[in-house]
Structure formats: C-alpha cells, structure tokens
Amino acid sequence: MKKVILVCGARPNFMKVSPVIKAMAKAGRLTPYLVHTGQHYDEKMSKSFFDLLHIPKPDVDLGVGSGTHAEQTAKVMVEFEKVCQREKPDLVVVVGDVNSTMACTIAAKKLWVPVAHVEAGLRSWDMKMPEEVNRVVTDSLCDLFFTTDPDANENLARMGAPADRVHFAGNVMIDTLLDNVKLSQGNPILETLGVKPQGYAFLTMHRPSNVDDKAVLGGLLGAFEHIQKRLPIVFPAHPRTMKMIREFGFGPRFDAMAGLKVCEPLDYHQMLKLNQNARFALTDSGGLQEETTVLGIPCITMRNNTERPVTVTVGTSEVVGNDPAKIIDAAERILAGKWKKGGIPEGWDGKAGERIVAVLQGFLA
C-alpha cells in the first residue's frame, strides 16, 4: 500500500479532500494520511465539517494558527517538513490555493516527494491576490495536475507543464455538493432565519479588496441597502468583514438595514440549504460561483476578475466588480427575470474523486 498525504489548510479544503478520501477507501490500494495544518481553525466549525462530510479525523493537526502570510507559510513549511520526514509518504496531494497549499508543496518537493495539485491551473491573473501567488508557485513545482475546466489545461500548457501530467478530472467540490444536496434538505436554517425559498438573496463577502478599503466597503453597503429593500438578504458574516465594518464606522448604517439578516458563519449543510433556495447570490467567493452554477442559481460575483471563468461562460455567474451601480443593476435584472439560465460544465458530475484516484494509482504503480 502506498501512503498518500492529503493536506487541508482551510474549511473549503475539506470539501475538496472528502471525495478523494472516499475514492481511496473504495479502491483500497492507497493509504490516506490526512494533515490539517490549522491555518484556519474553529473547533465548532471544523468538527461539523468532519461529521457532515464523513471525513476521518486528521492524523495530525499542525496547529499553525494565524499570522501574516509569511509567518503562516513559514510555520506550515517547518511543521510539514517534520511530518514528511517521519511518515515518508509516496505522494503528497494538495488542494485549492491557500497558504498551506503552497507551503506544503515547497516542503515536500525539497524532500524529493512528488506532489499532486487538485484544482491546478486556475488563474485570476491578479497577482495582488495572495491566492494567485499560491497557485502560480504551487503549479510551478508539482508533478501531477488535476484540473476542473479546459481553461486550466490551457493555462498549464502555457507555463510548460508536461501534457502527460495534466489530467482533466472535473470538480471535486461538485462531488461533495451532489453528495450532500439531499442530506441538507432537512436542515431547518430557512425556518430559523425566517425566510422562504426564492424569497431572499444570499450574500458572502470576505476578500480584502472588498472589505479593507473604506470607500469600496461603503459603496458595497450602499448596494446592499438598495437590494434589502427589494427582498431580504441573508448574510453569514465573516468575522473579519464585521471587524472592518465596525472599524470604518459603518456599524450604525449596517445595523439599520432591516432587510439584512445577519448570522454567524454556518456549517456546510446550512450554507448549502441557503444557497440552493436563494433567489440569487452575491459573493466574492470562488466556491460559491461553482455551487450556484450547478444549482442553477444566478450569481453576482463582486470581483473584478475570476479564476473560474467557466462559471461565467457556461454557468450562472456574472462578474460585475464592486461598483454599487453595477451590483444593483444585476440584482434588478435578476428580479425582472432577465438573467441567463446557465448550464453545467463538463466533468462536474460527481465523479472527479474517482478519476483522480485512478490517476494516482497509475502514477504510483
């Protein structure tokens, strides 16, 4: 049996690792060893992800915690190197684009351990995004690349990745979504928040480009003020977003929005139930662009770019930036029934984890 270390650094990583672990268990030829770096950690939220997604408890938690990007990356590299030296894995699998993804790739490669990247080749072409730096560095070092759409394959070809190492696997996030759509139906979150299907907008917002600039954040709040008068907005508020709202003095204005239903961060089934029943989504998240595409929910992407262009060309997303007027216009078009229907990208069929494991077995053979 070959030992494969799988790395999780943040909650979305668990959703991407879960289908791979399940496929390994089914195939029976690889031994998974799950490393949680502790880059993002919330005891309540992390436990809920393990329970809901049926992910085994991590074999090791590095507990690196928060810090600057450099501090966090350095801590992960130091601690992960120890894990690799002790466990002597045959392969390391990293997912996504968080600091842990890049840090563990660097540490493993310096020990001559091959690395596979799930969600390889995604590009926003915006080097001001920390995630873009992580993507570029990770893909420059990896031995195997698993992509979610044809654009990613083209990006990897341009950077010189060997064609026989690039595999269009589909989207593991969608594996997890399809496994959990029915399971989330019984969740009472809509009743708890007092909203009805198709009777609210679903908002997530956390990126520094939106919440760290006072003028930008003020403009976004202006857009939400308009929209929440048309229909309620459900907002599971990221702690950092709330911190900046208060620091910039927007607290009274934020609290005055009667149609804004603010709640604490939610577990995966709660988020999924809200997402699939929303009239539309407003987000600066990458994952939500993908989920709304598969669920057929209109998505207003409040960013100037996206590393997931297939959600725009094929799916239900439209990138509008953080201009309040454009956000309001997009919301009004949705409410008037003038939004595209969208489709489901190729390979987003719930079998990405199985395809990935089949390639890993061949590679390690």
Q: How far apart are CA 110 and CA 302, in angstroms?
A: 38
Q: How far apart are CA 19 and CA 352, in angstroms?
A: 8
Handedness of CA 354, 11, 304, 301 (dihedral sign): positive
Token code pair at residue 70: 């450099």
Pairing of strands 317-319, 115-118: unpaired
Please count the other Cβ atoms lying within 10 Å of the Cβ belonging to residue 54: 11
Residues 6+ apart with CB under 8 A from 276: 181, 184, 295, 297
Catalytic annotation on 167?
Answer: no
Q: How far apart are CA 112 and CA 90, in angstroms?
A: 10
For residue 283, CA distances in Å to 53, 133, 234, 274 come to: 23, 21, 12, 13
Dihedrals φ, ψ of 60, to 5°?
Answer: -155, 140
Of 2, 4, 11, nearest in space to 238 by CA: 11
> Which of 36, 54, 206, 269 is labelled catalytic?
206
Of 120, 118, 153, nearest in space to 136 by CA: 120
Are the C-beta atoms of residues 59 and 34 closer than 8 Å to each other?
Answer: yes
CB-based burial of residue 35 (10 Å sphere; 0-12 exposed, 13-18 middle, 19+ buried)?
buried
Q: How far apart are CA 26 and CA 175, in angstroms?
A: 15
Token code pair at residue 320: 């509008």
Query: Which residues are known catalytic residues?
Result: 206
